[in-house]
Structure 1
Amino acid sequence: MDDGAIWLEDAERLVARVRAYNPRADFQKIRAAYTYGAEMHEGQYRHSGEPYITHPVAVAMILAEQQLDDATIITALLHDTIEDTRSTYGEVAKRFGPEIGDLVDGVTKLTKLQLSSTETKQAENFRKLFMAMSRDVRVIFVKLADRLHNMRTIKAMRPDKQAQKARETMDIYAPLAGRMGMQWMREELEDLAFGVLNPEGRRSIITRFATLRRETGDVVEKITGDIRLELDKAGIKGEVQGRAKRPFSIWRKMEEKNVGFSRLSDIYGFRVIVATEAECYSVLGAIHSRWRAVPGRFKDYISQPKSNGYRSIHTTVSGRDAKRVEVQIRTRAMHEVAETGVAAHWSYRDGERVENPFAVDPAGWVGALIQQFDAADDHDEFLEAVKLEMYQDQVFCFTPKGEVVKLPKGATPLDFAYAIHTRIGERAVGAKVDAVRVPLWHRLRNGQSVEILTAEGGTPQAGWLDLVVTGRAKSAIRRSLRFADRKRFIKIGTELARVAFDQIDRRMTDKALTAAARTLRLPSSEELLARLGSAELESRQVIEALYPGIAPRAGDEIEPTAAIVGPQPDLTFRRAPCCQPVPGERIVGISYRGQGVLVHAIDCEALAGFEDQPERWIDLAWHAGNHPAVHDVTFDLTIVNDPGVLGRICTIIGVQKANISDLRFLDRRQDFFRVRVDVELRSVEHLHALRMALESEHDVALVERVRDPALSP
C-alpha cells in the first residue's frame, strides 16, 4: 500500500471517530481539510521519517477523543499549514471560513511564543498566551494536543532537543492542562516528560510496581471488587474504576514526603461514578462505614467546586491490608467535566452540543484569569501571578461566619486576610485557626476556619512578602511598603546604592540613578531607591543596568563587620545560630538591649517567639557586592560507608571554594555514615552551588541544611 492510501485510511479513521459522537458533523469539510493539509505538507517529513501529515491527523484524533466540535478538529488538521508551508491566513479563511482561519492563525502565533525564555520575555509572552485564550480558548486545546503528540513521539529527536521540550512541557504545558481541568492530559504530559528527564527514576518505579504485583497479586482488581461489594450492599448502581498512579505521580509523592517506594501508601486511585449527586454522598457513607477514613484527606469539591468546573468528592481510606486507597466519587456529568475540563463546553454527543450543567463558560473563566493578572504592576508581578494561578492547587477555608475563601495551596492567614479585604490584611497582627492562636506564617489546610486578629494602626512589614503566596497579597503588601514606609526605604536604598557604586569606583549621582530607573522601567530615581530599600530590587541590578558586564574587582570584598545595612548606622549585628542566614537570603533583625541585633532568616521558626513583640523587629538587608566566605552553614550528610567517600566529599567542598570549619560523625552504620559538616560560604548562590554539587555525588544519599530553632538565644 502506498503512502497516499495509508494517509487516506488515517483520514477515514478520523472521520469514523468523529461520526461516533457527532453524526451531523461536516465530514466533507473535514476530508477537504485533510486533503488540503496533505497537499501543503507534501514532501515534508517528521524526525521519525514519517510523512508530516501523520502529525496533524494524530492531533485531530486526540481532540476527537474529547468529542470536540468540527472547527477544532479541522484546525488541528491545518494547525501547521500557515507556519510551515506556503499556505496563508487568507487562503485558509477563504477555503474553510473566517472562524477556522482565525483559529489556525491563533495556533500559529502561539507556536512562535517562547514561553521558556528569559523572565521579562516570558511574562510578555504569557500575556499574549492569555490574550489568545480570551479570544478563543480552542487554540489552547489544539496547542496542548499538538504538544501531547510531540511528546509521545519525542524519541525521534536529538537528546538535547528532547530535554528542552521535556522541561518546557513539565514547566508550562502540563500545569496549563491541569489548570484547564484536563487532568488526564496533565498526567500523561508529566509522565512523558519525566521519562525524558529522569528515565532511570521512571524505570525504577515501573520495576517496583512489577515486583509488588508479583508479591501481592492484582491489588487494583481486589480493591475494585471490595468497593463494588459495598455498593451492592447499599443498593447503589455505579461504575467502579481503579488504576495504579502514574510513575511521575508516585515519584513526586516520594520527593514531597521524602520516603521510599516501600513506605508510600496511596499509590492506587479509584473512582466511583453514579447517576445523581445524592448517590455520591450515599457512596461516601458506604465507603466510610466499611473502611476507616484517613484524617485530613477528605475534600468535597461538589459543594465547593474548583474554578474550572471540577466537581468530585475525594476521600482516602485505610483499605485492604491497611493500604491507603484514594477514592473519587462523582456523577457521570461531573466525570465528563473532570476528564475534559473547560473543553467540556464544546463537547458533542449524538450530533448535539452537550448541555453539561457543570461545564464552565470559557469566556468567563479566561476573563477572570486575565482580570487577576492585569492587577500586576510589572512583568515580575504578572509572571508571579500567572505561575501561582497555574501551578498551585487550591484549599478552601472558612470565615467565622461560614463564608468560603479559596486560596492556593501553601497559603497563610495573611493571604486569607488580604483575600477578604486589603485593610484587614494591612491591620493583621495574628490569627486563630480552628479557635487556636497561630503565627501569620502558619500554612492553612482544607476546611479550616480562620479568624484574623487586627489592630488599629497596623502596617505591613517587608518580611510579609516571604510569608504570602497569592499575587493579590504580594501586590497589596508591595504597594503599602512603597507608600507607607517610603521615606525609610529610600534612606536604606540610598545607603545600599552608595555602597554598590563605591565598590565599582563610580560616583552615585542623581543623573546615574535616573538613568538606571529608566533602564529598569521605573518612573523615577526615588522609586528605584524605595524598591532597593524594600528589597524588591537588588543593587546588583542597578549597577548592571548602568554598566552591563561589570563585576567587582578581586579583593573588593565586603568586610564581615559591614555585611548588613540597617536603618541606623551604629547598630551591631550577629548572625542567629538557629538559622545561619547568608548573604542573598531575606533577613530580619531582633533587637536585644545592650547586645545589638540578632539577624535571622525571614523564615526562621525561632521568630515565632517574638510575634507579640513587634517593637523589637528591625528591617535589614545585606550589602550588595562580593562577600567573603566566612559565613558558617551546617549540613547533615548521609553518605555511603565505602573507602574514599569522605575524602571525595571534602574534595567537592574544596573545589566549590568553600572551607570546612568543623566535621563530626553523628551515626555510623554498616552501610551509611551520618556526618555533620560546618562550611564557610559567601552567599546563598554559593550555598546552592555547593548543595547541588554534593547532591550530584552518587555516594551521597541525603543532604540537609541544619536549622534548629532551639539554638536561638
Structure 2
Amino acid sequence: MEDKKLNFKAFEETKTLLLKSLQGQQPANKAEHVVEALDLAKSIYEKHGEWNEANATHLVNVAQICLNEIGLGSTSATAALLHETIERKWLTPVEMEKRFGQAVASILMNFTQISGLDPKDPKTEAELFRQMLISLTSDARVILIKLADRLDTMRSLSKEQPEVRLKRSWETFHLYAPLAHRLGLYRLKSEMEDLAMKYIYPKEYKYIIKRLQETTASRNRFLQSFISPIENELQKKGFTFTIKGRTKSIYSIFRKMQNQEVDFDEVHDIFAIRIILDSKPENEKSDCWQVYSIITDKYTPNTERLRDWISVPKSNGYESLHTTVLGPDNKWIEVQIRTVRMDEIAEKGLAAHWKYKGIRQEQGQEQGIDEWVVRVREILESPDTSPEDKVEQFQMNLTSSDIYVFTPKGDIRKLPAKSTVLDFAFDIHTEVGSQCVGAIVNGKNTTIKQELQNGDVVEILTSKKQKPKKDWLTFIITSKAKSRIKQQLRDIENREIQEGREILLRRLKNWKIDDVDEAIRKVNKHLKLKKPTDIFILIAQSKVDLTAIKTILTAEEEKPAVKEDTPKPEIEKAEVKESSDYLVIDEKLVNIEYKLAKCCNPIFGDDIFGFVTVNEGIKIHRTSCPNAGQLKQRWPYRVVKARWKGSSIAGAFQTTIKVSGIDEIGILNRISEVISKDLRVNMRNLNVSSRDGLFEAQIQLYVEDTKHLKMLLYRLSRVQGVHKTVRMK
C-alpha cells in the first residue's frame, strides 16, 4: 500500500515550520511533548480511518498558529494537536492526563465543552456566546486555541459547501473576530474579517481587491515621497528603525465606504505608515515622542486625531502613538509610532505582553500562567466601548450568579444560578411554564425541580392538563416565573370561586334555603374555614360533598321518626323487583328513579346499598363508600339493601383509577395504549402530576363491571415503569 505521507505536501511543510519553532523557542523536554502529541494524533486518526491531508494539516496548522502567530507555548501546542480526540471520544481525560499532564487534559476538556456551542443567530447572541465561553472555560488558553482553530478553518473554507461557508463566515464576523480584537490580536482579527467578507460580500470583496491592485504603484510613489525626509531625519538622530507601509484591511475599507457612503477613491486613509523603533526599555517613551516631533515638524498634524496609547496603554496591552498628518499632494495619512516590543504585543496580543514582563514563554504557561490567564479573563469579561467592536452592544458583565443553557434548537438562555427546569420553562413562555410537567436535560428525563447547570440542553415536556400549583413557589427562583405563577393562581382561584358560588347558589335554591349569607356562614363555621370564599373553592375542586353541606344546613330540622320520607311507593312503581329484603337493581337503568352516587361511582359487581334521598330518588352507593358509615349511622331508616341482577352493559359504569410509577419518556403512551387500544376502554379524563422522578395519574374511565376493572388494573400493572394501580374510593 502506498504511503499516504508522500502526498501530504502541505502537512509536511507546516510540520517542518512547527518543529523549527519548537527548537528555537521551547525547552527540549517540552518540545518532545509536542512531537509525541503529533505522533499520537497520527496513530489515533489512522486507527479510525481519519488520517488524511486535510485533518493532518489542520492539526499542525492550529498548533503552528498558537506558537508563532499568537505566541503561546508548548502546552497549548500539545493541546492543539489533540483538540479533537476527547470530543470524538477517542481518548479519555484520564489517559490524556497520564501522558501529558493535568494542564493539557484540562484544556482539552474545556475545549470539548465550548466546541458544543452553536448559536443559531450569531449577530444577536454574540454577547451571550462570549459569556458562555468565559463561564465554561477555567483556562484562557482554551479560547486562544479556539481562535487559532477558527482562523485555520477560515483559511481553508473554500473547500466547504456554500451554506457551510456562509454559516462559518457569519460566526467569524460576530463571534470570533470581536474576541480577537478584544485580546489585542489585531492581525488575526483583520484576517478573519477579510476571509469572512470574501464569502458574505463576494462582489464588494473582489472590487476592493481589484482597486487596491490598480492603485499599488501610485501608493508606493506616495509612500516613498512621504518617507524619504523622515528617514533622513531619523538617521541623523541615530535611531535604529524600520518603516513599513500598511494598507488597511479589506473589510476596514469596505466598512468606511458603507459608513461614509463614499466610493473607494474617496476613502482617504486607505494606508498608514508604521515606524518601529529598536529602543531600550527605559528610552521607549521618549524615543517615540521624539519621532513624533520630527514628523510633525515636517508635516502638519491633525491634533484631534492624536491617540496616545503609550502613556496609558489599552486594557489588552496595546501600546502605540498614532497621529494623522497632511502629506504630499495634500493627502491625509496616519502614522503609527511604536517600538519592537510594542509591535510584537500588537501582533500577538497578551501572550507577547507577558513575555516582555519578564516571564519566559514556557514559564508563562507553567509558572506564570496564573497572572496571564487572570488578565485574559479580565479583558474578556469587561464590557468593550470601542466603536470598532460593533458586536459588543449589550454592555453586560458576567457574574458568578449566571448560568447559560440551550434550547434543543441551540438558542441560548441566560438564567440565575440554581435556576430550575420550571424557571427555564417560564423564561421561554408563560404558557410553556404553566403546562410544564418535566424536561429532558442532556437526554435524561428530569422533574420540574431539577437545578440546571452551565451548558445544559433542555427540552421542556408539557401537558394541557397541567396547571400552576402553590408549591411551585417554594423552589423557583426567577422573578418572572414567580410573578407569572402568582398571577395564574389568582386567576384560577377567582374562576373557582365564581364556579363554586354558582353551584352552591343553585343547590341552596333547590333546597329552598333563602338566607344565602347565613347558610354560607354556617357552613364555614362548621368546616372551620378561614375565608368566606374558601367553601366555593372546595366545591369547585370537588373536595367537599354537597350532600354533606346539605346535612350541615338541615341537621337541626331533621326528625328521626319521619318515615313518610321513605320512598316505598317509588320502589314499587319502578321496575325494581324485591327478593327477600334486597332491592334488586336491573342493569338497564331505565325508567327507575335512582342514580349511581358520584362520591364512590359503583360499578356492576360491587357490593352496594341504596340510600333514599328527598328529591333525587334512591342513590346507589358502594358499601366501601367514604360516606357509607355516616349515612348508615345518621339515617339508618333511609338505607335499603341492594344487589345487582343480570349482566352489565359494555362501558356503562364510570370509575376512577390511580396509576403511579417512574416518570419517564413514553410512559403515558404505553398506559393509554393498554386502556384504549388493547382493552378498548373509553377514557373520560386524565390528570397527571410529577414529583422527584415519579408520576401519579388519576384516570376517569368507563368499564363493564368489576371483572373488567380488575383485568384493566392487572394489565396496567404489567406496563414497564408502572409501580402501582388501584381503584380510587
TM-score with structure 1 length normalisation?
A: 0.50
Equivalent-residue separation in structure 1 for 2:252 and 2:183 (angstroms): 19
Equivalent-residue separation in structure 1 for 2:30 and 2:144 (angstroms): 20
> Which of 476, 480, 486 is 1:522 aligned to?
480
Q: State yes or no: 1:148 paired with 2:156.
A: no
Instruction: Kindly indicate whether the alpha-carbon contact (under 8 Å) linking 1:342 and 1:360 is maintained by their aligned counterparts in 2.
Output: no
> Which of 125, 130, 140 is 1:126 aligned to?
130
> Which of 365, 372, 376 is 1:362 aligned to?
372
> Which of 344, 369, 377 is 2:352 aligned to?
344
Correspondence 1:378-393 to 2 at 5 A: 389=384, 392=387
Q: State yes or no: 1:290 paired with 2:303.
A: no
Q: Which residue does the alignment assign to 2:326?
A: 318
Q: Deviations over 1:233-281 (max 9, x none)?
A: 4443322121211211111111122211111111112211221221000
Which has the larger displacement, 283-292 or 121-130?
A: 121-130
Equivalent-residue separation in structure 2 for 1:266 and 1:44 (angstroms): 52
Task: Letter of the 1:337 partner, please give it.
Answer: I
Closer, same or farther in 2 for the Cα pair 1:409/1:349, shift >3 Å? closer
> Which of 63, 67, 79 is 2:83 aligned to?
79
Q: Deviations over 1:388-422 (max 9, x none)?
A: 5286459xxxxxxxxxxxxx999xxxxxxxxxxxx
Q: Which residue does the alignment assign to 1:557?
A: none
The alignment partner of 2:232 has SS state of: helix
Closer, same or farther in 2 for the Cα pair 1:295/1:260, shift >3 Å? farther
Equivalent-residue separation in structure 1 for 2:223 and 2:274 (angstroms): 11
> Which of 261, 264, 277 is 2:264 aligned to?
261
The alignment partner of 2:480 has SS state of: coil
Correspondence 1:484-495 to 2 at 5 A: none
Equivalent-residue separation in structure 1 for 2:343 and 2:260 (angstroms): 29
Task: Letter of the 2:3 partner, please give it.
Answer: D
Equivalent-residue separation in structure 2 for 1:335 and 1:470 (angstroms): 29
The alignment partner of 2:205 has SS state of: helix
Q: Which residue does the alignment assign to 1:251?
A: 254
Instruction: Kindly indicate whether the alpha-carbon contact (under 8 Å) linking 1:68 and 1:347 is maintained by their aligned counterparts in 2.
Output: no
Instruction: Kindly indicate whether the alpha-carbon contact (under 8 Å) linking 1:132 and 1:139 is maintained by their aligned counterparts in 2.
Output: no
Equivalent-residue separation in structure 2 for 1:55 and 1:44 (angstroms): 17
> Which of 210, 214, 217 is 1:211 aligned to?
214
Correspondence 1:10-409 to 2 at 5 A: 10-22=14-26, 24=28, 26-42=30-46, 50-66=53-69, 67-84=71-88, 86-117=90-121, 125-133=129-137, 135-215=138-218, 217-274=220-277, 275=279, 276-344=284-352, 347=355, 352-353=360-361, 361-368=371-378, 389=384, 392=387
Closer, same or farther in 2 for the Cα pair 1:228/1:132, shift >3 Å? farther
Q: Deviations over 1:349-393 (max 9, x none)?
A: 99944999xx99434434545775xxxxxxxxxxxxxxx528645
Q: Deviations over 1:631-684 (max 9, x none)?
A: xxxxxxxxxxxxxxxxxxxxxxxxxxxxxxxxxxxxxxxxxxxxxxxxxxxxxx
Instruction: Kindly indicate whether the alpha-carbon contact (under 8 Å) linking 1:234 and 1:286 is maintained by their aligned counterparts in 2.
Output: no
Equivalent-residue separation in structure 2 for 1:121 and 1:297 (angstroms): 33
Equivalent-residue separation in structure 2 for 1:23 and 1:351 (angstroms): 14
Closer, same or farther in 2 for the Cα pair 1:271/1:124, shift >3 Å? closer
Closer, same or farther in 2 for the Cα pair 1:173/1:56, shift >3 Å? same
Task: Letter of the 1:22 partner, please give it.
Answer: Q
Equivalent-residue separation in structure 1 for 2:288 and 2:158 (angstroms): 43
Equivalent-residue separation in structure 2 for 1:121 and 1:257 (angstroms): 27
Instruction: Kindly indicate whether the alpha-carbon contact (under 8 Å) linking 2:126 and 2:174 is maintained by their aligned counterparts in 1.
Output: no
Q: Deviations over 1:164-220 (max 9, x none)?
A: 000000001001000001001000000000111111111111111122234565444
Instruction: Kindly indicate whether the alpha-carbon contact (under 8 Å) linking 2:319 and 2:338 is maintained by their aligned counterparts in 1.
Output: yes
The alignment partner of 2:87 has SS state of: helix
Instruction: Kindly indicate whether the alpha-carbon contact (under 8 Å) linking 1:175 and 1:390 is maintained by their aligned counterparts in 2.
Output: no
Instruction: Kindly indicate whether the alpha-carbon contact (under 8 Å) linking 2:21 and 2:67 is maintained by their aligned counterparts in 1.
Output: yes
Equivalent-residue separation in structure 1 for 2:93 and 2:296 (angstroms): 57
Equivalent-residue separation in structure 1 for 2:359 and 2:129 (angstroms): 37
Task: Letter of the 2:372 partner, please give it.
Answer: P
Correspondence 1:435-446 to 2 at 5 A: none
Equivalent-residue separation in structure 2 for 1:45 and 1:156 (angstroms): 20
Equivalent-residue separation in structure 2 for 1:60 and 1:409 (angstroms): 28
Q: Deviations over 1:33-60 (max 9, x none)?
A: 001111122277899x734121110111
Instruction: Kindly indicate whether the alpha-carbon contact (under 8 Å) linking 1:301 and 1:310 is maintained by their aligned counterparts in 2.
Output: yes
Shift of 1:333: 1.9
Closer, same or farther in 2 for the Cα pair 1:72/1:226, shift >3 Å? farther
Instruction: Kindly indicate whether the alpha-carbon contact (under 8 Å) linking 1:244 and 1:267 is maintained by their aligned counterparts in 2.
Output: yes
**Ranges in structure 1 where 5+ consecutive residues have no aligned partner:** 373-387, 395-407, 411-467, 473-496, 498-509, 530-713
Equivalent-residue separation in structure 2 for 1:43 and 1:222 (angstroms): 61
Equivalent-residue separation in structure 1 for 2:38 and 2:149 (angstroms): 16
Closer, same or farther in 2 for the Cα pair 1:282/1:123, shift >3 Å? closer
The alignment partner of 1:26 has SS state of: helix
Correspondence 1:499-510 to 2 at 5 A: none
The alignment partner of 2:253 has SS state of: helix
**Ranges in structure 2 where 5+ consecutive residues have no aligned partner:** 398-429, 431-466, 488-729
Which has the larger displacement, 301-310 or 119-128?
A: 119-128
Closer, same or farther in 2 for the Cα pair 1:237/1:93, shift >3 Å? same
Task: Letter of the 2:267 partner, please give it.
Answer: L
Correspondence 1:580-599 to 2 at 5 A: none
Q: Deviations over 1:549-575 (max 9, x none)?
A: xxxxxxxxxxxxxxxxxxxxxxxxxxx
Q: Which residue does the alignment assign to 1:615?
A: none
The alignment partner of 2:336 has SS state of: strand
Instruction: Kindly indicate whether the alpha-carbon contact (under 8 Å) linking 1:243 and 1:270 is maintained by their aligned counterparts in 2.
Output: yes
Q: Kindly name which structure, 1 or 2, has the bigger radius of gyration based on alpha carbons.
A: 2
Q: Which residue does the alignment assign to 1:642?
A: none
Q: Deviations over 1:85-139 (max 9, x none)?
A: 5222221111111111111122121211124558998766533311345x21111
Closer, same or farther in 2 for the Cα pair 1:471/1:89, shift >3 Å? closer
The alignment partner of 1:148 has SS state of: helix
Q: Deviations over 1:660-711 (max 9, x none)?
A: xxxxxxxxxxxxxxxxxxxxxxxxxxxxxxxxxxxxxxxxxxxxxxxxxxxx
Equivalent-residue separation in structure 2 for 1:130 and 1:68 (angstroms): 19
Identity %: 30
Shift of 1:299: 0.6
The alignment partner of 2:179 has SS state of: helix
Instruction: Kindly indicate whether the alpha-carbon contact (under 8 Å) linking 2:166 and 2:200 is maintained by their aligned counterparts in 1.
Output: yes
Instruction: Kindly indicate whether the alpha-carbon contact (under 8 Å) linking 2:306 and 2:322 is maintained by their aligned counterparts in 1.
Output: yes
Q: Which residue does the alignment assign to 2:4?
A: 3
Task: Letter of the 1:87 partner, please give it.
Answer: L
The alignment partner of 2:239 has SS state of: coil
Equivalent-residue separation in structure 1 for 2:234 and 2:207 (angstroms): 36
Q: Aligned residue pairs: how many?
A: 404
Instruction: Kindly indicate whether the alpha-carbon contact (under 8 Å) linking 1:205 and 1:251 is maintained by their aligned counterparts in 2.
Output: yes
